[in-house]
């Protein structure tokens, strides 16, 4: 099963022998997205928001249509709760600067997890040091699991923010490794003490339906390139109730209403965080990706397909000599990745060997160095799938690893 979408991706025509299993880093792009970017470079090669001539106003309208479509996709109540940034990384940094610098004071507590991607770890370390705040950790067990009861001990009346991934880019589903409803439990604990919640949804939104209103988070960030869109576009959701808590992050054109010699009046969110000329072509590519997903992909079917392929890998990998699987062996309904290492062979060498077999996987610490240090390994190999991947491609990975260790 490949969800009947593989033919829409030029990558697989250009590289028919490649098994692309690095989708957690970036997915491939359907022709509709590629065409939309090229079309925008020709049809809308103007600057939005700045001029009143027809083409500039059309670019502004298209840009705002992408904003509204994004809000609808994640269940946001208002289109103005969506800002376009460069990436998930920039979105999280924007929250750290625009919200964190305005609201974190000495003695406040910020909770983060040991399993976080560096993008959702380093900004909070920097902010805590700068503001004299206390960084508290959600600890990961050596088997890659989390004790869900740890939340009861972490939250206090001084807790101002918890920043947590919605799906680990190394271990997989948090609901799987920490008990069902972990994210909901995190948010419930935060609400009890008045803390804000940021979710790194880079690995969450591409594979399952996310409704930010039902979830109840304050901030959420994800990236276009991990869900069929172009690199260079990230989405930052900030609940409207939090807009008055923000201060500008970057200063320049487009984010200011009026400028004086001393006092300036800044535009509200999202424009406050969209300084400078925005990339209409890339955002049009992102809009085309959303249109493609809405028209061609059932998120439940996508989740089922990916979890089935991942489940097959998780079943077969532990039976291969010297191969050690990271995290629990169970498969959640939306699992799309699994990480492992081979005793006695560096992950980079494993990935290089697989590359020679025409198999693309990720090797390294996956920007989760703290987690790998906690697990006592320098790096790991990660396989990740999307709707266009096939059973045969995962079988090729398994067979190649069996040949490697003989």
331: alpha, beta or left? (left if phi > 0; alpha if psi -120 to 50): beta
C-beta of residue 21 within 8 angstroms of C-beta of residue 359: yes
b (16+ CB within 10 A) / e for 321-359: eebebbbbeebbebbbbbbbbbeeeebeebbebbeeeeb
Active site residues: 367
CA distance 283 to 36: 9
Cα Rg of the chain (Å, integer):
22
Among 89, 99, 62, 359, CA closest to 224: 89
| Total number of residues shown for the chain | 406
Neighbour tally for 71: CB within 10 Å: 19
Instruction: State whether the Cα torsion 82-84-89-95 is positive or negative.
Output: negative
C-beta of residue 193 within 8 angstroms of C-beta of residue 249: no
């Amino acid at each position: 099963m490949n969800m009947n979408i593989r033919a829409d991706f030029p990558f697989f025509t250009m590289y028919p022998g490649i098994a692309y299993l690095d989708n957690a880093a970036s997915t491939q792009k359907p022709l509709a997205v590629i065409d939309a970017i090229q079309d925008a470079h020709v049809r809308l090669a103007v600057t939005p928001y700045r001029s009143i001539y027809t083409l500039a106003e059309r670019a502004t309208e298209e840009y705002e249509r992408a904003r509204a479509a994004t809000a609808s996709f994640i269940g946001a109540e208002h289109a103005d709760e969506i800002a376009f940034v460069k990436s998930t990384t920039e979105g999280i940094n924007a929250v750290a600067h625009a919200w964190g610098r305005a609201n974190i004071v000495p003695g406040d507590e910020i909770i983060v997890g040991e399993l976080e991607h560096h993008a959702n770890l380093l900004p909070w370390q920097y902010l805590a040091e700068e503001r004299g705040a206390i960084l508290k950790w959600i600890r990961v067990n050596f088997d890659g699991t989390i004790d869900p009861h740890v939340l009861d001990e972490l939250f206090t009346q001084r807790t101002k923010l918890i920043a947590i991934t919605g799906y680990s880019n190394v271990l997989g589903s948090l609901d799987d490794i920490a008990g069902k409803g972990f994210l909901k439990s995190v948010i419930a604990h935060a609400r009890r003490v008045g803390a804000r919640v940021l979710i790194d949804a880079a690995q969450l939104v591409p594979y399952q339906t996310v409704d930010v209103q039902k979830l109840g988070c304050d901030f959420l960030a994800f990236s276009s390139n991990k869900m069929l869109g172009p690199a260079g576009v990230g989405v930052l959701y900030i609940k409207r109730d939090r807009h008055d808590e923000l201060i500008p992050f970057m200063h320049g054109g487009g984010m200011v209403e009026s400028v004086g010699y001393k006092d300036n009046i800044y535009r509200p969110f999202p424009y406050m965080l969209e300084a400078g000329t925005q990339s209409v072509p890339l955002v049009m590519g992102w809009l085309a990706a959303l249109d493609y997903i809405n028209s061609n992909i059932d998120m439940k079917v996508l989740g089922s397909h990916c979890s089935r392929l991942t489940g097959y890998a998780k079943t077969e990998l532990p039976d291969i000599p010297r191969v050690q699987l990271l995290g629990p062996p169970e498969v959640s309904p939306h699992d799309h990745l699994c990480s492992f290492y081979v005793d006695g062979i560096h992950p980079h060498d494993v990935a290089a060997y697989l590359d020679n077999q025409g198999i693309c996987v990720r090797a390294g610490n996956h920007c989760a160095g703290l987690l790998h240090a906690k697990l006592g390994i320098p790096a790991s190999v990660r396989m990740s799938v999307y709707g266009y991947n096939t059973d045969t491609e995962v079988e090729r990975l398994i067979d190649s690893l069996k040949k490697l260790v003989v």
